[in-house]
Amino acid sequence: MLAVVAAIVFGIAFLLDLFDAGIGIGMTALIALGLCLLALHQAGIGTASAWRGSWRSRARR
């Protein structure tokens, strides 16, 4: 889920840069936010197996 949000943030940053538009927040801040979301995704935060335990192994039993 966090990877999808990061992709949306990167897409918004790309479109704002492409059209030379601004929303009051810098491009560096948007890129840093996207990278932070990707790092959280890679760490396992926001995934079903990270906070529910091994729900896949319980379903097999």
56 in a domain, yes or no? no
14 in a domain, yes or no? yes
42 in a domain, yes or no? yes
41 in a domain, yes or no? yes
28 in a domain, yes or no? yes
Q: What are phi and psi of 30, to 5 degrees?
A: -65, -40
Instruction: Look up the pTM and report it.
Output: 0.68
Residue 21: the pLDDT is 84
pLDDT in tens, the chain (61 residues): 889 999 999 999 999 888 888 788 888 899 999 999 999 999 988 776 545 555 555 566 5
The domain total for the chain is 1
Q: Nearest 5°: CA angle at 18, between 32 and 35?
A: 15
Residue 54: the pLDDT is 56
3-state secondary structure at position 24: coil
54 in a domain, yes or no? no
60 in a domain, yes or no? no
Residue 49: the pLDDT is 57
16 in a domain, yes or no? yes
By residue range, what is the domain housing residue 13?
2-49
Residue 20: the pLDDT is 86
